[in-house]
Amino acid sequence: MTEQMTGAQSLIRSLESVGVDTVFGIPGGAILPAYDPLMDSTKIRHILVRHEQGAGHAAQGYAAATGRVGVCIATSGPGATNLVTPLADAHMDSVPLVAITGQVASANIGSDAFQEADIRGITMPITKHSYLVTDPAEIPRAIAEAFHIASTGRPGPVLVDIAKDALQATTTFEWPKFISLAGYRPVTKPHSRQVREAARLIAESKRPVLYVGGGVIRAGASEELKTLAEQTLIPVVTTLMARGAFPDSHPLHLGMPGMHGTVAAVGALQRSDLLICLGARFDDRVTGKLDTFAPDAKVIHADIDPAEISKNRHADVPIVGDCKEVIAELVVAVHDEYEAGNRGDAAPWLATCQTWRERYPLGYDTPDGALSPQYVIERIGELTGGDTTYVAGVGQHQMWAAHYVKYERPGSWINSGGLGTMGFAVPAAMGAKVGLPHSPVWAIDGDGCFQMTNQELATCALNAIPIKVAIINNSSLGMVRQWQTLFYDGRYSHTDLHSARVPDFVKLAEALGCVGLRCDTAEDVDATIRKSMEVNDAPVVIDFVVNPDAMVWPMVAAGTSNDAIQIARDLKPTFDEDEL
């Protein structure tokens, strides 16, 4: 059945047809025709943000929290270019996102018309695919394909740029009966021979490690991972993007690896003889100096994106497929190896890893007269409950949040991992709360990150989105300051934000329609957190004024081997060879 309507009406009908219930956006000239029928939709909630970057990050937060495709809308030119950062962020972290942008009328494309930008060309390297639609009849197919591409294979962002005259013209709405994309055939089912070879290596190895990345979260494979770990008794490390994929409380878990990883996680990877890499990409923040990373290890690398396999580290056994299916088949294949009598003794290696975990636990100083940021975050994690979702910005507070909150379930941790985008936390928390209206959502943010996108608190206040925001206020760009302390002789060039004086975050919160609180002593931390939890009808902002000299440990300096990990300044762990 066909129906006559405008291209703008066709766009809204198409979004309804793919099940969209929420979009984040800002209207403008080129996209304005779409906003008229959007007003009449009874299925789609539009949330008017204060900046297009906020719309993109909110859509990311919604997608990460729900597993559905996030949607953002912007107009042409600067509206569209303000989405570049969220698109790049979603591309790096494999977040399913569809960005819809208005474009100048098709006759004006290429003429440097008012608010014209080649957003398709600009974003080509940071999207899975992109469309420029000038024919209104093509709108339904473009939307259907965009959502299919964004949500299948390795998830990621897709851009749909629509000319203004295509939105205004009359067209016939016809929803595609099927989607057939030549050249796009994501492989989800792994090759059985590769799985069997991986199982053989697992059975033979003496020092294996399950190196788990965000692909396990995206695939919904946490239960399969737990089954495999408990079947094999192989220690597990979860990257920054995989926090929550495996319970922190599980005895097989060694923590997060990498530049600021735990000693046990970093040490286990370095001394392993087999890495079972599941949905991770051997990122430089995990490997350190690449040619010194896990020098004695063979590699099983499973990923849904074939481009990632052997990109940074050669894979002895490459497996292309969805992590959920890969791990499920590995469980069966490993069982067959064990039944055939092929099983090494994993106990000594596991005992060694657990010795390192006990010998080098995470810890922090509690200086007299100054509030420890780690203590604040630790208490937030302990008081807020297991159903809470935590969203972080980027920097010291991100690393502390990754370490000192205990993550027991997938999806409980959302952050900007690959791109490292300051300003991510507040709008992403807003999007997560929209997707999870009955669950608590906390943004753990730094005073630097917070000042980039805090205007979205007005969006939260006006749209009844009661997130909690904990500002870890050390009055500086903390991670950069830490590097200046360690590598630039304490020359603090332009990292002092003076946030202890300007702005007054409590007054700013109140001006944006939120409840504002301040805490600067350890004795008041619990009471302040509990007070914020009593407020359920408005966003809450807490200004935690913390020790500016606190640093993130452990640490591997950029460009050095993971063997050079430090647990404090001028203090390195020791690994006895006879423990292996």
> Using one digit for the tens of pLDDT, what is the confidence trace for 381-390?
999 988 999 9
Contact 53, 84 (CB under 8 A): no
Fold held by 373-545: Rossmann fold (3.40.50)
* Distance, CA of 45 to CA of 22 (rounded, Å): 5
Residue 1 has pLDDT above 70, yes or no: no
**Which of these is catalytic: 60, 92, 138, 164?**
164
Domain locations in the chain as residue ranges: 3-173, 192-359, 373-545
**Which of these is catalytic: 399, 422, 479, 555?**
479
Tell me if residue 168 is catalytic: no
Alpha helix (H) residue ranges in 436-519: 447-453, 456-462, 478-487, 505-511
User: 396-404 and 373-384 are packed helices; what angle lies between their axes, rounded to 10 degrees?
Assistant: 40
pLDDT in tens, 425-458: 999 999 999 999 999 999 999 999 999 999 999 9
**Which of these is catalytic: 9, 24, 52, 145?**
52
Tell me if residue 52 is catalytic: yes
**Which of these is catalytic: 16, 115, 533, 566?**
115
pLDDT in tens, 520-569: 999 999 999 999 999 999 999 999 999 999 999 999 999 999 999 999 98
Same fold, 3-173 and 192-359: yes
In the chain, the amino acid numbered 209 is V
Tell me if residue 479 is catalytic: yes
Mean pLDDT of 217-236: 98
Q: Distance from CA of residue 232 to its chain's centroid?
A: 29
**Which of these is catalytic: 3, 43, 114, 174?**
114
Residue 108 has pLDDT above 70, yes or no: yes
> What is the three-class DSSP state of 506?
helix
* Distance, CA of 135 to CA of 165 (rounded, Å): 9
Environment class of residue 185 by beta-carbon count within 10 Å: exposed (0-12), middle (13-18) or buried (19+)? exposed
Fold held by 3-173: Rossmann fold (3.40.50)
Nearest Cα to 167, choosing from 50, 52, 75? 75
Fold held by 192-359: Rossmann fold (3.40.50)
